[in-house]
Amino acid sequence: MFAALGRFVTRFRWYVIAAWVLLAVVVVSLAPALTSTQDESEFLPKHYESIRAAQIQEDEFPSQFQPGAIIVFDRSDGGKLTAADSAKVTEVVGSLDAAIKDKPVLHKVFSTAAAQPPSKNQLVQLGVVGLAKDQSGFDTPAMDAAKELRKDAKPLVAGTGLRVQMTGAAPQQLDSQESGNKTLAIVGAATILLIIVLLALIFRSIIICLMPVVLVGLAGTIATGLIGWANQAFDLKADSSIEVILFVVLYGIGTDYILFFLFRYRERLRTGDDIRGSVEHALERAGEAIASAGGAVIVAFMALVLSSLGIFRSIGPALAIAVAVTLLAALTLVPAVVTVLGKALFFPSKRYLRAPEGARFAAVGRQLGRRPVVFAAASGLVLAVLAIFALGFNPTFDFNSSLPKNVESTKALDTLQKGLPPGSTDPLTIVLRSQGSLSESALAPFRQKLEGAKGVAKVEPGVLSANGKAATFSVTLDHDPGSDAAIADVKGPIRTTAHESAGPGNTAYVGGTTSVFVDMNKAMNRDYAVVFPIAALVIMVILALLLRSLVAPWYLMISVGLGFAATLGATVIVIQHLKGDSGLIFLLPIYIYLFVVALGTDYNILMIARLREEAREGRKPTDAAAEAVTHAGPTIAAAGVILAGTFASLMLGGNSLIVSMGFALSFGIFIAAFVMAMFFTPALTALIGHAAWWPGHGDETAEEHDARVGHPDRSEVSAGSTTGG
């Protein structure tokens, strides 16, 4: 199959290149932009309590607004607010309320602005800006409105001694978007620079240094457009980090696949074959490994469509589309371009004609072949020790904590907490619903019981709906709404108190962002039990089909499972214990699982495919393992360094979610390449021997094959076989 593809691509190389360029032009011209959201409630199914509370509130209280922005006032000198200051705050908020009614960019998103009384210690005073009907506060119009509202507010306090800052849904989304754009620019520049430098060190070629930048950039443009269409067609929304992750995935994986192909192409050139023959051979030999590796990654990502969380259902197809387009480019566009460039690809270096000695990898390979037990035990022990620390993983659900500390919405939260409970920025909304009707007298006892619940700072008087069948209570928490303490309080005493105090014929629903976090935790635990096993099972099927074995897929998946746990454990050590963070964003294990399992499988596939090839040359298992490390080791090392470095560039973003993700994924790729694929997999395969290929015959030589199927007279091995790396 891949030999035929190689012949087709080399013959019609110009048509292949033209087709890719034409497709990119069409996609850029017609595809919609990517959409993302910070609204955690959009990630949950409707049967969860927090979502049911929001729906009842919308149905029964259509005129009751949700806060879209919180305006925080304090004195610039840090002193207490005077009566004149408070009057000025009321005047400023009134001016902003008038601006909301006058300006389309504002009244499309916001409904009204109202001043609140000063805090008891007179250090802080708030203005609350309500959202218009059917507005979430997390989309592009909301960000535009937040930017305009900030611009209008600053001049109103000039020369008054007051300071104004804004936080809440829309301002936080704006800061998140702007922070994400800066992160993307930093990560993008670092990624491109890293790829160019590393490829220059490996190949000494100007053209090869630029090849991933151009070809992966072209494929990425197409992938982004296709993802935009998919999101539009299926109403998918991912969190705001998706563009950064997509960029890193595209360039990291794309560069890896280009390396897989180029190492095999360069190897064939060294035998004296011509350009077209070398391209065809490289695609024949590397194509199966690239396609199988890409298939495993795509399957792992697509398994997320089984998630109950909308964020994962959106991220999964997006990443799968990106990898699929990159894979197709690696199998068609890259060989076509290489055929056109010929030997000029390596300009100005001539070193590609000389095979490197590879002394270090040869030495490691020989040692592994002699002592597979030592290598398997040592690498397995390293993974197991790190995996123990994964038990200390503490998930956090506060998306806002991932914002940089220097943005206005984060500073506004810090200012607010000088005079008000941290929960003032985002109170819970508890909805009491009756099968009959509620009376005003029934609301006071319910409110009184809520006030006695652990974690509650204040409960506002209940508000009855027009038909008298429902009432809402605004509940301010003692702790930051996204903190572990607040989540524990809502999950336990607050929900329990609300449910038990509702009274006969009534039902209480706890809503609000903290309640959403509680439900997300429940959904996440469900997803771990469903998505992980299914993704692992399908990847095992792919490995079984590739290797024609029922044994090898098991220990390969055990190795990547250990790699996952070791990566999570190392991240817990660095971020929670050394850096001192209270926890890791709850999304992180999913990302680690996807990238370490999927991409770790990539490197395992490349190594075991080489092991099989060496065994088919007639080598015994330990010798085959030694040769595989000698020849596949440089490819895996180069790919691992580039991909790990690419993910490490995320740590330059300044966003705590992106920083922790950058460390975790770069460390995971390093473990996958330099521990799992380089040592653990070949050592285990050498120890298991021929049984690793049971019930197939993946390691048999051509003579053994002919003898088994009844052609003992055949004496020649196919001329296409080679042992280079």
Q: Answer yes or no: do 9 and 85 share one domain.
A: no
Tell me which H or E stretch contains 521.
helix 513-547
Q: Answer yes or no: do 560 and 547 share one domain.
A: yes
Q: Answer yes or no: do 333 and 372 share one domain.
A: no
Q: 147-167 as b/e, with b when 16 or more CB fall inside 10 Å? A: bbbbebbeebbeebebbbbbb
Pairing of strands 395-396, 584-585: parallel
Output the pLDDT for position 165: 94
Q: Answer yes or no: do 642 and 705 share one domain.
A: yes
Q: Answer yes or no: do 483 and 507 share one domain.
A: yes
Q: Answer yes or no: do 677 and 593 share one domain.
A: yes
Paired residues of 348 in beta bridges? 205
Q: CATH no. for residue 81?
A: 3.30.70.1440
Tell me which H or E stretch contains 542.
helix 513-547
Q: Answer yes or no: do 69 and 135 share one domain.
A: yes
Q: How far apart are CA 269 and CA 265, in angstroms?
A: 6
Q: Answer yes or no: do 591 and 694 share one domain.
A: yes
> Considering 511, 542, 568, which residue would you say is the last residue of a domain?
511
CA dihedral sign of residues 281, 284, 289, 293: positive
Q: Answer yes or no: do 73 and 144 share one domain.
A: yes
Output the pLDDT for position 638: 84
Q: CATH no. for residue 649?
A: 1.20.1640.10
Output the pLDDT for position 714: 45
DSSP letters for 13-43:
HHHHHHHHHHHHHHHHHHPPPP-B---GGGG
Q: Which residue has the tokens 């218009």?
A: 132
> Considering 485, 511, 537, which residue would you say is the last residue of a domain?
511
Q: Answer yes or no: do 552 and 660 share one domain.
A: yes
HSE toward the beta carbon, residue 143, CA cutoff 13 A: 17
Domain annotation covers residue 183 = no
Q: Answer yes or no: do 548 and 669 share one domain.
A: yes
Q: How far apart are CA 383 and CA 387, in angstroms?
A: 6
Domain annotation covers residue 710 = yes
Spatial contact of 247 and 184, defined as CB atoms under 8 Å apart: yes
> Considering 173, 196, 212, which residue would you say is the last residue of a domain?
173
Domain annotation covers residue 593 = yes
Alpha helices in 389-507 (DSSP H): 408-416, 440-451, 484-489, 495-500
Spatial contact of 307 and 520, defined as CB atoms under 8 Å apart: no
Domain annotation covers residue 83 = yes
Domain annotation covers residue 46 = no
| Segments in the chain below pLDDT 50 | 714-725
Spatial contact of 617 and 701, defined as CB atoms under 8 Å apart: yes
**Among 626, 624, 630, which residue's Cα sits nearest to residue 611?**
624
Amino acid at site 383: L
Residues 400, 403, 407: CA angle, nearest 5 degrees: 115
Using the 8-state DSSP alphabet, how is residue 205 labeled? B
Alpha helices in 204-309 (DSSP H): 206-234, 242-269, 275-302
Q: CATH no. for residue 452?
A: 3.30.70.1320
Q: Which residue has the tokens 């290598």?
A: 375
Output the pLDDT for position 725: 39
Count other C-beta atoms under 10 Å from residue 388's C-beta.
12
Domain annotation covers residue 37 = no
Domain annotation covers residue 418 = no
Output the pLDDT for position 233: 78
Domain annotation covers residue 536 = yes
Range of the domain at 100: 65-173
SS3 at position 622: helix
Count of domains forming the chain? 4
Alpha helices in 333-477 (DSSP H): 334-341, 359-370, 372-388, 408-416, 440-451
Q: Answer yes or no: do 78 and 96 share one domain.
A: yes
